[in-house]
Amino acid sequence: MAKKSSKTPMAVNKSNTPAWMKTVIIVLVITFGVGGVAIAAAGAGLFGGGTTSGTTATSGGTINDQYKPRVDAAVAALSASPDNPDIIVQVGHAYFDWARAVYESGQPEASVPTWLAAVSYYDQTLAIRPDDDIALGNKAFALFYASDDRAADALRAFIDAAGDNAGLAAQVENARALLAELEAAPASPIGSTPATTTP
């Protein structure tokens, strides 16, 4: 069972995304969403139809209906430029936002595969651009909310890398609080399920 923190998932500010990338993704989302074109996204098998977890109904349809087109569009953009870290990180952000929506809907366990999908794209971004503090921070937050054993190390790495970045001060403080929460939690025996806390 995934650990549910008392804090709302926080992402690192993605406002540094180039305008051209935002435009490409918006156009692709509109094209694929309105046109009904289905694109096989990497990891799409994690999100089936019907009553699969993560599909809580909202005023605009299910969470999956709202976020899958954005992921599909980002993955389509990535297929045209697979080594571009600006596009790779956008796929990570799309998965991150989807995971956050599922998590905030009260389904922390269902959000885990989506958090980990985001992490995989952040790792790809960091392999090309290791000084990307936004990817590093979002990777750390995703690992924390996925209750992954790598979360503490990732949070420390983000704090160390971005500790003097004034633009990310709030996110660094959030990372410190999450790290303190992890360090204060009693160690779970191997194979046990961490306790879930309510927000």
Given a contact cutoff of 8 angstroms between Cβ atoms, the answer to whether 87 and 93 are in contact is no
**Three-state secondary structure call for residue 75:** helix
What tokens does 154 get?
């990732």
List, in order of start, the domains of the chain with CATH numbers.
Answer: 19-39+56-184 (1.25.40.10)
As a whole number of Å, the end-to-end CA separation of the chain is 16
What per-residue confidence (pLDDT) applies to 117?
98
Chain segment 83-139, per-residue pLDDT in tens: 999 999 999 999 999 999 999 999 999 999 999 999 999 999 999 999 999 999 999
What per-residue confidence (pLDDT) applies to 110?
96
Largest CA distance in the chain: 50
Chain segment 168-194, per-residue pLDDT in tens: 999 999 999 999 999 998 865 544 444
Which helix (H) or strand (E) segment holds residue 136: the answer is helix 133-145
Question: What is the reported pTM?
Answer: 0.69
**Three-state secondary structure call for residue 70:** helix
